[in-house]
RNA sequence: UCCUCAGUAGCUCAAUCGGUAGAGCAGAUGGCUGUUAACCAUAAGGUUGGGGGUUCAAGUCCCUCCUGAGGAGCCA
């Protein structure tokens, strides 16, 4: 739960941090004022930040200043005894100021203390057509100004949580001995599985070199072959898993699918852990531990932001997250899930049927109606899953798992990998793929292969789940979606 | 990519059956001694997304394109 109203918890920078780097910056952060206001009371301080809002009367005025160090604003009061009072009341919203004044107890309700300004200097004036106003803006409008929206409460909270969440993920894995592997962004193989890829080329698109048969001659391209942006680091990281035992990737991923939904972006980040000497059960335990760890981490490190989300974005957010922390995640096989869905009272647009993939409406029913908490669905028919997933003894299902969470849907997808050389080779052929494209991958089974497993976690979907934000475009600084790569 | 809805002042929205395009906020000017999205007053602010059509008359009806949102598929 959030600390008292006067604290500004971890997540911003501090003067101590500056001093430890041998830099005396000479001004005080708002974060520090909120945490040390009792000692700082009646002292003269300098602050630097941007005007969030300003209210003026005839002889005095208030500025709410935000310096990015913490979620809260500092109320600054100044009177017409200031030499530049008449100019100051006209400084537009968004202007950057350097203010010197005394920290005093506030006589009015709403804030325990305020800065009594003695000097207000402009560092950078804002123009009169500053798009952000003293009112609520729609997310759609703010998406048109992604370079300015981090100056709003919601987006300042979102992107601080996003930053902390990345830290939480590294922290979780490093505490458990995982090695962080940077798999390539540019990939030379198109064997990473389904998903349209973005071509990477230096060829002249207006006049590409042709072979005898008039096909484009990629031998003359930069890498001497066709290359694309990666859609997953999994296959690559498996090699490192069989050396380091516990590894993970965390980096950008690119999908050229023409997806227009709240949950899809063309460029997004993915976390892919891979563990050796492990089966599907170990894999699911890791996923559950990780999800709970990052929730706990964010609740502790960003209480003000989380309180804000709970008030203005989704009023059941904190309750929902607390329930996840308290719950033991549910486990259910695909076959059982189909049975449950077929017996359900709800009428589905697509009747559930063994052999077909679960529809969004089915997933929502399971996580939101039946269990009302995260649920792992396991052991899918082999035909609807990737070739590298381990074939179960029944010969018709594979050791796959999807984690479905209420409101967001599929947040994690993973599997135990097929470690048996012969079975894997046969699966590649069955799926209509060419074994020669997977020689190096098959080699991992030839040279000391062991049972191993892993999963992929959509980073943005995690941010959405933790903040209650409903559109992926609002948790990415500069989102890329079909027909949108501005800025 | 498919389905549905939407696009009117800088922003958020209104405009009845097709009949002179309005309000709040922001911005401007003036007022106000403790404000919290401050408040009060005044003036200003428009090629109704682009193009074409029907009509005496189109923000409104038709066609088309563009853009956005929601849903579906694909997935993370």
Model confidence pLDDT, tens digit, residues A148-167: 999 999 999 999 999 999 99
Phi, psi of A425 (to 5 degrees): -60, -40
Nearest nucleotide (C1') to alpha carbon of A116: B34
Q: Are the C-beta atoms of A334 and A379 separated by less than 8 Å? A: yes
Task: Evaluate if the CB of A429 falls below 7 Å from strand B.
Answer: no
What's the pLDDT at A110? Answer: 86
Q: In the 3-class helix/strand/coil scheme, how is chain A assigned residue by residue?
A: CCCCCCCCCCCCCCHHHHHHCCCCCCCCCHHHHHHHHHHHCCCEEEEEEEEEEEEECCCEEEEEEECCCCCCCEEEEEECCCCCHHHHCCCCCCCEEEEEEEEEECCCCCCCEEEEEEEEEEEECCCCCCCCCCCCCCHHHHHCCCCCHHHCHHHHHHHHHHHHHHHHHHHHHHHCCCEECCCCCEECCCCCCCCCCCEECCCCCCCCCECCCCCECHHHCCCCCCEEECCCCHHHHHHHHHHHCEEEEEEEEECCCCCCCCCCCCEEEEEEEEEECCCHHHHHHHHHHHHHHHHHHHHHHCHHHHHHHHHHCCCCHHHHHHHHHHCCCEEEEHHHHHHHHHHCCCCCCCCCCCCCCCCHHHHHHHHHHHCCCCEEEEEEEHHHCCCCECECCCCCEEEEEEEEECCCEEEEEEEEECCCHHHHHHHHHHCCCCHHHHHHHHHHHHCCCCCEEEEEEEHHHHHHHHHCCCCHHHCCCCCCECCECCC
User: Residue A141 above 80 pLDDT?
Assistant: yes
Tell me, what's the ipTM? 0.91
What's the pLDDT at A356? Answer: 92
Q: Rounded mean pLDDT of A243-255? A: 96
Task: Evaluate if the CB of A81 falls below 7 Å from strand B.
Answer: no
Structure token digits, residue A10: 């971890």
Task: Evaluate if the CB of A261 falls below 7 Å from strand B.
Answer: yes
What's the pLDDT at A13? Answer: 52
Structure token digits, residue A155: 């987006």
Task: Evaluate if the CB of A260 falls below 7 Å from strand B.
Answer: yes
What's the pLDDT at A8? Answer: 64
Q: Rounded mean pLDDT of A400-404? A: 95
Instruction: Determine the distance between A340 (CA) and B4 (C1') in angstroms.
Output: 31
Instruction: Determine the distance between A72 (CA) and B34 (C1') in angstroms.
Output: 20
| pLDDT confidence bin for A5, thresholds 50/70/90 | very low
Task: Evaluate if the CB of A311 falls below 7 Å from strand B.
Answer: no
Instruction: Determine the distance between A466 (CA) and B14 (C1') in angstroms.
Output: 37
Nearest nucleotide (C1') to alpha carbon of A408: B76
Q: In the 3-class helix/strand/coil scheme, how is A448-485 assigned residue by residue?
A: CCCCEEEEEEEHHHHHHHHHCCCCHHHCCCCCCECCEC
Total Cβ atoms within 10 A of residue A261: 10
Instruction: Determine the distance between A8 (CA) and B19 (C1') in angstroms.
Output: 60
Q: Rounded mean pLDDT of A64-69? A: 94
What's the pLDDT at A127? Answer: 87
Task: Evaluate if the CB of A153 falls below 7 Å from strand B.
Answer: no
Nearest nucleotide (C1') to alpha carbon of A457: B76
Closest CA to A408 of A457, A478, A337, A354: A457
Distances (CA, A) of A487 to A144, A146, A251, A268: 10, 8, 21, 16
What's the pLDDT at A487? Answer: 83
User: Residue A394 above 80 pLDDT?
Assistant: yes
What's the pLDDT at A146? Answer: 93
User: Residue A198 above 80 pLDDT?
Assistant: yes
Model confidence pLDDT, tens digit, residues A97-121: 999 999 999 988 889 999 999 999 9
What's the pLDDT at A453? Answer: 97
What's the pLDDT at A193? Answer: 59
Structure token digits, residue A407: 């409101």
Nearest nucleotide (C1') to alpha carbon of A89: B35
What's the pLDDT at A25? Answer: 63
The CB-side HSE value for A304 (13 A sphere, CA atoms) comes to: 21
- How far is it, in rounded angstroms, from Cα A80 to Cα A277? 73
Nearest nucleotide (C1') to alpha carbon of A255: B75
User: Residue A262 above 70 pLDDT?
Assistant: yes
What's the pLDDT at A19? Answer: 47
What's the pLDDT at A157? Answer: 95
Bridge partners, residue A272, by sequence: A249
Bridge partners, residue A252, by sequence: A269
| pLDDT confidence bin for A456, thresholds 50/70/90 | very high
Distances (CA, A) of A211 to A188, A197, A220, A227: 20, 23, 10, 18
The DSSP letter of residue A144 is T
Q: Which nucleotides of B are covered by protein (CB under 7 A)?
A: 1-2, 10-13, 24-29, 31-38, 67-76
| pLDDT confidence bin for A192, thresholds 50/70/90 | low
What's the pLDDT at A479? Answer: 94
What's the pLDDT at A409? Answer: 81
- How far is it, in rounded angstroms, from Cα A8 to Cα A200? 45
Q: What is the mean pLDDT of chain A?
A: 90
| pLDDT confidence bin for A7, thresholds 50/70/90 | low
Lowest mean pLDDT among A4-8, A47-51, A233-237, A464-468: A4-8
Bridge partners, residue A375, by sequence: A330, A404
Task: Evaluate if the CB of A85 falls below 7 Å from strand B.
Answer: no
Residue ranges with strand state E in A57-165:
60-66, 74-79, 96-105, 113-124
Task: Evaluate if the CB of A268 falls below 7 Å from strand B.
Answer: yes
What's the pLDDT at A431? Answer: 87
What's the pLDDT at A485? Answer: 87
User: Residue A18 above 80 pLDDT?
Assistant: no
- How far is it, in rounded angstroms, from Cα A467 to Cα A83? 44
Q: Rounded mean pLDDT of A221-229? A: 93
β-strand pairing of A74-79 with A113-124? parallel
Lowest mean pLDDT among A154-158, A241-245, A369-373: A369-373
Model confidence pLDDT, tens digit, residues A283-337: 999 999 999 999 999 999 999 999 999 999 999 999 999 999 999 999 999 999 9
- How far is it, in rounded angstroms, from Cα A278 to Cα A328? 21
Q: Rounded mean pLDDT of A34-42? A: 92
Nearest nucleotide (C1') to alpha carbon of A411: B76
- How far is it, in rounded angstroms, from Cα A129 to Cα A135? 15
Task: Evaluate if the CB of A141 falls below 7 Å from strand B.
Answer: yes
Q: Rounded mean pLDDT of A71-95? A: 92
Which residue's structure tokens are 């498996």? A238
């Amino acid at each position: 739960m959030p600390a008292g109203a006067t604290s500004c918890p971890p997540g911003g920078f501090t003067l101590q941090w500056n001093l430890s780097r041998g830099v005396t910056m000479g001004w005080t952060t708002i974060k520090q004022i909120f945490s040390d206001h009792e000692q700082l009371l009646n002292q003269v301080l300098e602050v630097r930040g941007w005007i969030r809002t300003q209210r003026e009367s005839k002889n005095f005025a208030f500025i709410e200043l935000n310096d990015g160090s913490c979620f809260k604003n500092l109320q600054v009061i100044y009177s017409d005894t200031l030499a530049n009072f008449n100019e100051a009341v006209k400084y537009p919203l968004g202007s950057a100021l350097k203010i010197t004044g005394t920290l005093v107890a506030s006589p009015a309700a709403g804030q325990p203390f305020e800065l009594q300004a003695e000097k207000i200097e402009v560092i950078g004036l804002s123009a009169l057509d500053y798009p952000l106003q003293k009112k609520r803006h729609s997310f759609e409008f703010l998406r048109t100004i992604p370079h300015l929206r981090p100056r709003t409460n919601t987006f300042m909270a979102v992107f601080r949580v996003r930053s902390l969440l990345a830290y939480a993920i590294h922290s979780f894995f490093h505490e458990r001995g995982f090695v962080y592997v940077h798999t390539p962004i540019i990939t030379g193989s198109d064997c990473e599985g389904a998903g349209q890829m973005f071509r990477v080329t230096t060829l002249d698109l207006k006049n590409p070199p042709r072979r005898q048969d008039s096909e484009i001659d990629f031998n003359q391209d930069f890498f001497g072959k066709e290359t694309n942006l990666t859609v997953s680091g999994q296959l690559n990281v498996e090699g490192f898993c069989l050396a380091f035992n516990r590894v993970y990737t965390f980096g950008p991923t690119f999908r050229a699918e023409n997806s227009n939904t709240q949950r899809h972006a063309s460029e997004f980040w993915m976390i892919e852990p891979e563990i050796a000497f492990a089966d599907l059960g170990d894999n699911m335990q890791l996923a559950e531990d990780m999800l709970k760890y990052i929730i706990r981490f964010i609740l502790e490190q960003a209480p003000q932001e989380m309180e804000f989300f709970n008030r203005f974005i989704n009023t059941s957010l904190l309750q929902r997250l607390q329930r996840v922390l308290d719950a033991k995640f549910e486990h259910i096989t695909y076959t059982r899930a189909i049975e449950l869905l077929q017996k359900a009272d709800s009428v589905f647009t697509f009747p559930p049927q063994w052999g077909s993939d679960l529809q969004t409406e089915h997933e929502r029913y399971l996580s939101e109606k039946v269990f009302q908490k995260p649920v792992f669905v396991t052991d899918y028919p082999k035909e609807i899953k990737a070739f590298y997933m381990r074939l179960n003894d029944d010969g018709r299902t594979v050791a796959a798992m999807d984690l479905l969470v209420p409101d967001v849907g599929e947040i994690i997808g993973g599997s135990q990998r097929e470690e048996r050389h012969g079975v894997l080779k046969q699966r590649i052929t069955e799926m209509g793929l060419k074994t020669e494209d997977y020689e190096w991958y098959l080699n991992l089974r030839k040279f000391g292969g062991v049972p191993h497993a892993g999963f992929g976690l959509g980073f943005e979907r995690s941010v959405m789940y933790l903040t209650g934000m409903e559109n992926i475009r609002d948790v990415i600084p500069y989102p890329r979606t079909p027909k949108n790569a501005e800025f």
